[in-house]
Amino acid sequence: MTTPMTTAEWICTRCGSTNRRLVPVAATRAEDECYTCHTRHQIEAESRPVRWRASPT
């Protein structure tokens, strides 16, 4: 059985790039690394379903 996944989209606070990461549907937070500048961020789900809030770790 596969875990249903959804796309979390977040904006890098350092370079402004849009990143996307597949996360489990039930997840509300995750960690990801910017594809462009490789800064690690903690991302948190907000009320809007796709765009997540990012803060550097």
Judged by the rule CB under 5 A, the positions of this chain that interact with Zn ion are 12, 14-15, 17, 34, 36-37
Cβ nearer to Zn ion, comparing 23 with 41: 41
Shortest approach of Zn ion to residue 17 CB, angstroms? 5
Q: Which is nearer to Zn ion, 7 or 36 (CB)?
A: 36
CA dihedral 22, 48, 26, 11 (to 10 degrees): 30
Reading the block at residue 40, the tokens are 């690690």
Minimum distance from residue 42 beta carbon to Zn ion (Å): 14
